[in-house]
Every structure is written in C-alpha cells, then in structure tokens.
C-alpha cells in the first residue's frame, strides 16, 4: 500500500528526477572540493523543496510524514551533503512552526519556502548530548534580550538568513529556563560565525561555530520564556525521522551500486552475483534496508498526528543509522579493492553515514530514550 497521495506522487517524481539529473552527477565533485551545497539552493527553492515540511498557508507543499520521508531519501541517495543542508533547514522552520506565533511564522516561513536558508543552534562545546547543560544566556534588556555564549557544529550557519538560537533566560531553572529566539545574522551585530569545520563526511553540508554577544528584539522570541527546550525536543523528534530517511537513502544507493557491480564483475568466467556468499550479503542488506525503512515510515506516519512519537523516532534513527553503516560496508566489500577507491562512491557513502550515529542525538541517547519509555 502506497503511503502518499497522487499529488504527492507527482511531487516525488519531480524530486527523483532532480536528484538523478542534477544532484547525483555533482555529488562527487562537491565532496572532493568540500563545496557548500548552497550551490543547489536556487534549484531546490524553485522545486519547492525548501518548504516540503510546511503547510500551504505559509507557502509550503505540506507533504505528509511518509511522503516527506521519501523525499529526503531521494535527495540523500543522490547527495548526502545536500540532504544535510535541507534537513537542517527543516529543523529551523519546524522550530518556527512549532514554537513561534503567527506573526513570526508570517515573517519567516514564506521566505524560507522561497529559499531563505535556516539554521538550528542548540549544541554547545560543553552541551551536546544534554542540551540542558548549555551555558549561553539571554538577559532581558529594554526591548529585547542580550544573547551571550557560543554554539558549535551548527549546520548552514555560515549562509543562513535566519538562525533559531536557544539560550537560558533563567540559568537556575535547568531545561525549564531555556528559551528560543530567531536571529537574522545580516541584521545582528555581535553574532560571529567561525569558518566551517573540516569534517570526515558530508563535506558539502557545512557546520560552523557561533560566538554570541548580540541584541535580539523581544518579538523574535519563539513562544513564552522557558518553552525553548520543549520546542527543541519536538523539533528533534521530527529531525530524527529525517536522519533515518537520509540513512536509508544513502544505504539504498549503496545497495543499488553493489547489485550492479555484482552482476557486471566476472571471476572465473561468471558474474560474482552467482556466488552464494555474495548473494547472502545482498540479502542481509535488503533485510536491513526493509526493516530500517519500515521503522522510519512508522514514525513518519505519526508526524503531525498529534500523538507523541519520541520513542518511534528514536527507534527509527537508531536502527536506520546503524543498519545503513552495515549496508554500505557490505556494499564496499562486494566491490573489493575498487570500493576503497575514490573513483567509486562507496567510500563517500561510508564517510557521510558515520555522523548519523552522532548528531541529533547519538545512538546511546536513542537507547536511553527507548529504555526510558519501556520503563515508564
């Protein structure tokens, strides 16, 4: 049974063609040169990709959870860096959709759908897996707040038109003291962006450090003071589904490459696809991929339903991020020495996949979430 409507099928067909004809041919060079995937922004905006997650009232396409999952898969299978840029943008726009009032949504979301790039600034050097430990502060001043502190590993920040930044308005209140603000770098003196990090993979999905000593108007606060942590956790429930989709998209590309190679590569006058040991590797890949996609779609169906789905999104991210690594590793093994060469995409797939077990909640954090739900 298909998980998307006829209208969504048409959108997904356009995305699949764009991924195949535009993103995939450029992916290797983008990785080799560590070129920022913003080079694809105008084309993505023209296709409506920047607003896939947003309702039509704000200029988005309003895709259902499962269709959005599939869209992210298609982009990631062609270019992991571009998918990383896109889903980081979704974190920012989801923050506004979930935590912002109607005025903030009207100010930022239509422009975001047209290509204004968003970033989501939660992580700090001493507050990664536990964001409640953040030290960035937002001190009330006449007309707004003074933000002070630092952030790290913030995707898109160097090119962002707006950044959703989390800081403590009440340092004594722990997570309940965290508030969220939307900041426009071009209009905000005192917000400084460091050069992008030199990463192992997703080399075109640039991440940056931020230094904060800047004023933010009161009307740029998302929701009431102290609601930022709750907004961030809801956003990350969505983001973890999108990480699962990125993982399955890249894993599917690796499996497809392995199947093609196994049929073409000859040993002793016959294709290696005839060898049972290799067939079992492909079968294990197919099994991992099917299970990862099933968990991802299960969580995606709950997105927007009003039901809580933290556990389902944790299951999806945990399994997909770890299964995708196994799939790409087997696919590289099937390619033998050629898989280890940069002329083939397998080594890039593995480098790109490695971060998925770390960001937006490490595998260990996902296990904590799942166990906490089991033991409630």
Question: Pick the catalytic residue: 6, 242, 360, 373?
Answer: 360
Residue 361 CB burial class (10 angstroms; 0-12, 13-18, ≥19)? buried
Phi/psi of residue 34, nearest 5 degrees: 50, 40
Residue with tokens 């699949």: 16
134 CB-near residues (< 8 Å, 6+ apart): 122, 124, 127, 149, 166, 167, 168, 178
Residue 16 CB burial class (10 angstroms; 0-12, 13-18, ≥19)? middle
- What pLDDT, on a 0 to 100 scale, did the predictor assign at position 345? 96
- CA atoms within 13 Å, Cβ hemisphere of 141: 13
Instruction: Please give the C-alpha separations between residue 94 and each of 143, 196, 285, 304, in angstroms, as whole numbers.
Output: 26, 24, 33, 11
Quote the CA–CA distance of 159 and 7 in Å, as a whole number. 32
Superfamily of domain 118-226: Butyryl-CoA Dehydrogenase, subunit A, domain 2 (2.40.110.10)
Per-residue pLDDT 10s for the chain (376 aa) are 467 899 999 999 999 999 999 999 999 999 999 999 999 999 999 999 999 999 999 999 999 999 999 999 999 999 999 999 999 999 999 999 999 999 999 999 999 999 999 999 999 998 878 888 899 999 999 999 999 999 999 999 999 999 999 999 999 999 999 999 999 999 999 999 999 999 999 999 999 999 999 999 999 999 999 999 999 999 999 999 999 999 999 999 999 999 999 999 999 999 999 999 999 999 999 999 999 999 999 999 999 788 889 999 999 999 999 999 999 999 999 999 999 999 999 999 999 999 999 999 999 999 999 999 999 8
CATH number of 6-113: 1.10.540.10
- What pLDDT, on a 0 to 100 scale, did the predictor assign at position 18? 98
- What pLDDT, on a 0 to 100 scale, did the predictor assign at position 2? 63
Q: How many helices (H) and strands (E) does the chain have?
A: 11, 10
Structural contact between residues 370 and 311, judged by C-beta atoms closer than 8 angstroms? yes
Q: Is 242 a catalytic residue?
A: no
- What pLDDT, on a 0 to 100 scale, did the predictor assign at position 3? 77
Angle at 153 between CA 149 and CA 154, to 5 degrees: 75
Could you tell me the fold of the domain covering 229-374? Butyryl-CoA Dehydrogenase, subunit A; domain 3 (1.20.140)
Q: What does the chain come to in residues?
A: 376
Domain positions in the chain: 6-113, 118-226, 229-374
Quote the CA–CA distance of 73 and 63 in Å, as a whole number. 14
């Amino acid at each position: 049974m298909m998980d998307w409507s006829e209208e969504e099928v048409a959108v997904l067909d356009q995305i699949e063609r764009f991924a195949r004809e535009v993103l995939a041919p450029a992916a290797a060079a983008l990785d080799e040169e560590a070129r920022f995937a913003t080079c694809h922004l105008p084309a993505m905006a023209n296709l409506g990709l920047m607003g896939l997650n947003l309702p039509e009232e704000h200029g988005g396409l309003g895709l259902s959870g499962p269709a959005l999952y599939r869209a992210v898969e298609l982009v990631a299978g062609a270019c992991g860096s571009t998918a990383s840029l896109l889903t980081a943008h979704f974190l920012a726009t989801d923050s506004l959709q979930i935590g912002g009032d109607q005025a903030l949504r009207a100010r930022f979301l239509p422009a975001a759908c047209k290509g204004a790039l968003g970033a989501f600034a939660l992580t700090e050097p001493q507050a990664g897996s536990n964001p409640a430990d953040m030290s960035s502060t937002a001190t009330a001043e006449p007309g707004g707040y003074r933000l002070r502190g630092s952030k790290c590993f913030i995707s898109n920040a160097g090119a962002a038109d707006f950044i959703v930044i989390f800081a403590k308005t009440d340092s004594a209140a722990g997570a309940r003291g965290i508030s969220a603000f939307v900041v426009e770098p071009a209009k905000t003196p005192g917000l400084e962006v460091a050069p992008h990090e030199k990463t192992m993979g997703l080399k075109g999905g640039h991440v940056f450090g931020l230094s904060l000593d800047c004023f933010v108007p009161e009307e740029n606060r998302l929701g009431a003071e102290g609601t930022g942590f709750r907004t961030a956790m809801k956003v990350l429930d969505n983001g973890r589904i999108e990480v699962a989709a990125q993982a399955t998209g890249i894993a599917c590309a690796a499996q497809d490459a392995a199947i093609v190679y196994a049929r073409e590569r000859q040993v002793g006058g016959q294709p290696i696809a005839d060898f049972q040991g290799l067939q079992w590797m492909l079968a294990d890949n197919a099994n991992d991929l099917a299970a990862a996609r099933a968990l991802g779609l299960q969580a995606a169906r709950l997105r927007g339903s009003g039901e809580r789905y933290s556990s389902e999104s944790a299951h999806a991210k945990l399994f997909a991020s770890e299964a995708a690594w196994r799939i790409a590793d087997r696919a590289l093994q099937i390619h033998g020495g050629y898989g280890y060469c940069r002329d083939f995409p397998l080594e890039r797939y593995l480098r790109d996949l490695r971060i998925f077990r770390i960001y937006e909640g490490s595998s260990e954090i996902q296990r904590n979430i799942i166990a906490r739900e089991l033991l409630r």
